[in-house]
Structure 1
Amino acid sequence: MAEAHQAVGFQFTVTSDGIDLHLSREVLKHIYLSGVTSWTKRAIRFKNGILTGVYPASPSSLLIVVIAIMSTIYAKIDPSLGMIDTIKRTMSVSGYMTVQTQTVLSAILFSTGLWLSLILMLRYILKALLSYHAWIFESHGKISFCTKLWLSLVKMFSGRRPLLYSFQTSLPRLPVPSVDDTITRYLESVRPLLDDEQYNQMEVVANDFKKDQAPKLQKYLILKSWWATNYVSDWWEEYIYLRGRSPIMVNSNFYSMDLLYVTPTHRQAARAGNVVHAMLQYRRKLERREHAPLRALGVVPMCSYQMERMFNTTRIPGIETDFVQHLSDRKHLVVYHKGRFFKVWLYYGGRHLWPSELETQFQRILDDTTEPQPGELKLAALTAGNRVPWARARLKYFSQGVNKASLEAIETSAFFLSLDDEVHGYDPDKLRSLDLYAKSLLHGKCYDRWFDKSFTLIAYKNGKLGVNAEHSWADAPIIGHMWEYVLATDCFHLGYTEEGHCKGDINKGLPPPTKLQWDIPLECQEVIEESYMVAKVIADDVDFHGCLFDEFGKGLIKKSRTSPDAFIQLALQLAQFRDKGEFCLTYEASMTRMFREGRTETVRSCTSESTAFVRAMEDKNTSPSTYMLVRLDLFRKAADKHQNMYRLAMTGSGIDRHLFCLYIMSKYLSIDSPFLKQVLSEPWRLSTSQTPQQQLNMVDIKTFPRYVGAGGGFGPVADDGYGVSYIIIGENLITFHISSKFSSPETDSYRFGQNIRQAMLDICALFDQKDKNEKEM
């Protein structure tokens, strides 16, 4: 065991001559190096904390202010308007302090106060500037003078070289929309889904709510928005995620895939070694706050709050509600392989293990032939089943002894690694290889991922990778940011030897991984099996299809002067109508990270404009001479409508988060609202999300066209609906991840993928025909 190996370095023996003390120089060296590393880390955190705390100013600016004030004093000019003299008079006079010393000290105190006031003023100005959102509603490529001036001011007040959290205090709060606006937009969103009688009934219920109950709820919500940093995020995390008692596997967790076409090495241990080391590098920069904040247009900062809990985080089950446990720097990770759990130390001699050292440790685990202990094989199924049985089992069977220590090792680890004994990845020569890859990442065998960890890194036998992420602590772009960094670092900075091993010397003196010990009674094994059976039913019901659309991509769509996201969303509406013969309530996730602690908002993509366009596309009676112009006009209107709704959602004027918070407030106040009940119970039969590419500078796709990621996906939201995630990669590729349930006779993921493909081609054909007609004229 690693602990025993370290202990032998410090021994003492009591003899008749006294205490005979034995010290190991090697161990003392490692203790010294660990201490140096720890204090260095603290010093860097302290320094970066100060830099963030005074941003957009800098500590050196204090010296400039002090020198300027002192200069004016010696020039017999008083810029303080008598404040320095007032400070001097209030200071106690003593024999150790001359009048000149008092003057200097008073000037320094005044300068410091003035400097702090200037910082607060700069932050207030920047917050006021960042509260301006008219720029986002301007047409692409057309920037008004007002927006240009605003951009210049934001750049000027943003300072230089910001750290990850530099802008947090300058970000505006998420505003509470007016009830009138929200109700109006809600009724507009459901109009295409209801007949006249249903709509009139909904209008009556909505107006009754607006008149009777909404004013009181809105007042309390506005009060909360003044007090809380964000009026949505804490309730969203608690009630949407942590209070859910159903399994989080498939229903909540999501996944990210590896590079689509490239596998840097087929050695499982080597690939895991490089990627884990890259993750440790990312974590070190994260803890030191050294990552650059993400900024829209390279200027407007996004909130970085969610990134704090990326590592060392676990969702802990509870009877009524779960909670998220986040710890400071953890020095180990837990690895799962063929039913065994191993603890691997990530530090040696006060530094991260090198990739070659990590490869050695993982290879030792792969070579280990011991059998799982009773109950150990499917232990992780507890995290895949219902939450209450898991919470009760945790209290009863894992609160003492070796079980407590081993579970603690898992829950306090930096993250979880699963060394899979299967082969997965995209293979163009194998039918539906992407589908099986997605299912493996989403649920695996239901017991080979620890679904409660912030994320589980999955390394397959053939060197392919993936990530399964828990959703409560953050949204997909946060994991995506880390994953982009890791893949780029793995391929372009760390690299491999010609034989496919990690670069660097092999340290044979490393203590081997520690096998976690368990004492799981038969009663607990029965609970584990029950959780496994619940999870297996869910996993077996997931119908997945990965669709690579490479006929055209972002490049061609932009030439048609259309937003790629709006183009795809309209294609999804057309595909949905062709698939089911009807329209449905459609969810598209939009981010609200331009506000402090912002998470997501919903864009209701099914609109009166989009349904009109789809009906025109399906109308076979339109004359050929007019169909193209009519459909194109309807497409433009629908795309413009979608873009406007997306922008409203991003700028805090969405519908669903406001209604959700009004509903929670109604529960707290014991107010029964038929309108809010109906709104919150409506099923999202088409749930969609775009996976953004956030660090395009890390990999030049034009130079390395095969080094593209495949994005990620999630499970179906409704029993009879589809979940669709898509990523726009470069100029000529769009990947769709489509999920549904085999148990629903109405859905088929492969069929829906073909409908999406055809819808994309049919919409593109409208522009092709237009260009052809213009050339002939």
Structure 2
Amino acid sequence: MYLKVRLPLPINSNPGMVFPRRHFAKMEEVADLGALFIDDLLDYKEMLDRGELPLERATSREKGQPLCMEQFYRLLGVCRIPEVGKDRLELPPVRQGSEESEELVVVACRNYFYPIPVKAADRGRLTPGEIQAQLLHAMVDAAGAPPAPRVGLLTSMNRDQWAKAREQLIRDEMNRMNLELISRALCILCLDEGGGDRADTDADTNAMLRAMHGAGTRHHSANRWFDKTVQLIISSDGTIGMCYEHSAAEGVAVVRLAERALARAEVADRPAPPPALLPAPQAMKWNVPPDVQRTIETAARDLDRAISDLDHRVYTYRGYGREFMKSCRTSPDVYIQLALQYAYYKMYGYLVTTYESASLRRFRNGRVDNIRSAHGAALAWAAAMCTAETPPLNDGSDEGQKKVSFNLYGEQKKLELFEEAARKQTSIMEANILGKGIDNHLLGLREAARESLGELPPVFCDTTYKQMIEFKLSTSQVATTTDGTFMGYGAVCPDGYGCSYNPKKDTIIFCISSFTSSSVTNTEAFRQSLEEALDSMKLMFQARKVEN
């Protein structure tokens, strides 16, 4: 699904994740946190190598069914490799028995890349203090070095263009070795300087933009390797987060990895100074041909243009959260999905093809199918919510009584339509997670036809099918347990919205995206419509409680 897409990874594919903000008094504290993150990733990788990752089971709908854990094994040491037409995933080798693995991380600092071995067969793992010292070496070295070649920007390009540039790079032996080291590294640790925040944007949104794309080539975007599945980001001004390449795993596995590292770093002691210093890490040296240098400059212009076109907002709705939604006897996910349909209808007067990811982990190697939330029942309810009330039919003399009885009748009808829409939404969701959705089946038929017939049957060339897979509202629930953490992504079509949501006890965090070049969409207008929709839904349910 992902590897054939030729669009650049930043904004179009890679989600960003924001961690709670920190305050660093000195650069040693930045290295402390980086060392603790890496130390936990080593623990996690060793647990995976031993096959000790606990099996998860479904908590609803065929409760107790085992869930596939394969995605959790495809996070560390994984890299997407660009190739013309279709990329490939490079996975770490499978360890045999008690075979000890050698591990490294790559630290990005001021656009330089430093490979740091953190585990070797002959000496074991580096301690957190030894890792911290290596990170400090890299930070000091990069600070005193001339400007680095901005090779990381190549990973932000159209995939075919990057694949061709990569072919030129690997003709040089040193470049080839650098790319191999990056590919097999556990992760990229991006140590950013401060800066890059937009003056007209709130702190949460600025943090998300830096996680998604690095805030532009004048700031941190070249200090990235967007092909890498896990990029941890620590900025000297306290902005912390992650950018992850989506083709290897879904958000649930990434959130689990990130929140574990955050929790452990929160309670860990400061890394103890090592008894002896190890050899200092050396920055990768690149031999960049003139043609590739020109490609890097093109990549910089294209990325900055894409960043300026992104209209993104992190919005925390504070009217209520999942506890109120549960009190309405409605699943928070169903409630929010219907709120999104209502918000869209309020703006445009119609619904559009909607994507909501549905986990298929009940099946081996299962990823996601699509819950199509724009159904007839949702349309009927949204239209009822938006229809102006007409005067009541009776002409009773008690005007106050007449108004109350009419409003209660109207609210009752809206509630009935909502409950019907919620039942339909739940039914579609259950069918999807149990393997009875339509999108993956159609995708399989389409690709099988392409391979066996060499061309697509008419049904897959029909305008209705094309409209059906153009998701103008792309959504997903990305729940986190750590305060101050949330994940967001871009829209998936030029005239569409991307909207993740994270229901908390008394709030809901939305990450809403669209493109400024579109004359159809507007992120702030959608945010306002969503706020009004959620407020109106609360009034609808409160009216039921008054009536009861």
Using the alignment, how far apart are the partners of 2:77 and 2:337 within structure 1?
36
Distance 1:747 1:271, change over 3 A: same
Which ranges of structure 2 fall in alignment gaps of 5 or more residues?
94-100, 391-405
Q: 1:465-614 maps to which residues of 2 (within 5 A)?
A: 465-492=240-267, 494-495=268-269, 502-614=270-382
Q: 1:334 to 1:672 in 2, by over 3 A?
A: closer
State whether structure 2 residue 263 is matched by structure 1 residue 263: no
1:756 aligns with 2:521: no
Between the aligned residues of both structures, percent identity stands at: 28
| Mapped contact 2:133–2:277 kept (Cα < 8 A) | no
Counterparts in 2 of 1:416-427, with a 5 A limit? 416-423=188-195
Match of 1:344 in 2: 116
Q: Aligned partner of 2:446: which letter?
A: Y
Residue 395 of structure 1 corresponds to: 167
Query: 5 Å matches for 1:693-704?
Result: 693=480
Q: What secondary structure sits across from 1:479 in the alignment? A: helix
The TM-score normalised by the length of structure 1 is 0.63
Following the alignment from structure 2 to structure 1, what is the Cα–Cα distance between the partners of residues 495 and 189? 33
Which one of 284, 289, 293 corresponds to residue 46 of structure 2?
A: 284
4+ residue segments displaced more than 4 Å = none
Tell me the secondary structure at the aligned position of residue 371 of structure 2.
strand
Residue 399 to residue 411, structure 1, CA distance change in 2 (3 Å): farther
Matched, 1:458 2:233: yes
- Partner letter of residue 263 of structure 1? R
Following superposition, the deviation at residue 680 of structure 1 comes to 4.6
1:354 and 2:127 aligned: yes
Distance in 1 between the 2:42 and 2:190 partners?
17
Q: For residue 206 of structure 1, what is the aligned residue in structure 2?
A: none
1:331 lines up with 2:106 in the alignment: no
1:252 is paired with a residue whose SS is coil
Structure 1 residue 712, shift from structure 2 partner: 0.3
Retained in 2: the 8 A contact 1:316–1:324? yes
Residue 272 of structure 1 aligns with which residue? 34
Give, as a single letter, the amino acid of the residue that structure 1 aligns with 2:206: L
* Closer/same/farther in 2, CA of residues 417 and 553 from structure 1, 3 Å limit: same
Q: Normalising to structure 2: TM-score of the pair?
A: 0.88
Paired residues, what number?
A: 509
Determine the C-alpha separation between the residues in 2 that align with 1:680 and 1:463.
46
Q: Secondary structure at the match of 1:601?
A: strand
The amino acid across from 2:22 in the alignment is: T
Cα distance in 2 for partners of 1:397, 1:667 equals 33
Letter in 1 for 2:516: F
Matched, 1:293 2:58: no
Describe the superposition over 1:143-199 as per-residue Cα deviations: whole angstroms up to 9, x where unpaired.
xxxxxxxxxxxxxxxxxxxxxxxxxxxxxxxxxxxxxxxxxxxxxxxxxxxxxxxxx
Map Cα deviations across residues 693-721 of structure 1 (whole Å, 9 max, x no partner).
4xx6xxxxxxxxxx514220111111011
Contact 1:271 1:463 in 2 (8 A): no
Give 1:4's aligned residue.
Answer: none
What pairs up with 1:125-140 in 2 under 5 angstroms? none
- What CA distance in whole angstroms lies between the structure 1 residues aligned with 2:172 and 2:196? 38
Larger Rg: 1
The residue that corresponds to 2:496 in the other structure is: 721
Q: Deviations over 1:279-330 (max 9, x none)?
A: 2111111221212122222832210112222111111111232111112344
> CA contact under 8 A between 2:32 and 2:271: conserved in structure 1?
no
- Give unpaired runs (5+ residues) of structure 1: 1-239, 496-501, 697-706
Aligned-residue offset at 1:524: 1.6
Q: Partner residue of 1:371?
A: 145
Matching of residue 308 in structure 1 with residue 73 in structure 2: yes
Contact 2:102–2:119 (Cα < 8 Å) also in 1:
no
Q: Which residue of 1 aligns with 2:412?
A: 629
1:440 aligns with 2:231: no
What SS class does the counterpart of residue 177 from structure 2 fall into?
helix
Cα drift, residue 554 of structure 1: 1.1
Residue number among 374, 377, 380 corresponding to 2:152 in the alignment: 380
Cα deviation per residue 1:600-638 (whole Å; 9 max; x = unaligned)? 000110111111111111111244241110111111110
Note closer, same or farther for the CA distance 1:669–1:574 as it changes in structure 2 (3 Å cut): same
Give 1:360's aligned amino acid.
Answer: A
Farther-moved stretch of structure 1 (269-278 vs 598-607): 269-278
- The SS at the match of 2:513 is strand
Return 534-543 or 594-603, whichever deviates more: 534-543
In structure 1, what residue type is equivalent to 2:203? S
Q: Residue in 1 aligned with 2:400?
A: none
State the distance in 1 between where 2:13 and 2:3 align.
10
CA distance in 2: counterparts of 1:304 and 1:352, whole angstroms? 26
Contact 1:381 1:447 in 2 (8 A): yes
Residue 402 of structure 2 is matched in structure 1 by none
Deviation of the 1:424 alpha carbon: 7.8
Deviation at 1:371?
2.9
- Partner letter of residue 299 of structure 1? G
Structure 1 counterpart SS, 2:2: helix
Deviation at 1:587, TM superposition (A): 0.8
- Partner secondary structure for residue 299 of structure 1: coil
Distance 2:425 2:14 in 1: 27
1:364 corresponds to which letter in structure 2? H
- Distance in 1, matches of 2:239 and 2:44, equals 20
- CA-CA distance at 1:572 after TM superposition: 0.4
| 1:377–1:447 Cα contact (<8 Å) kept | no
CA distance in structure 2 between the aligned counterparts of 1:366 and 1:541, rounded to whole angstroms = 32
Higher helix share: 1
CA distance 1:276–1:295, shift in 2 (3 Å): same
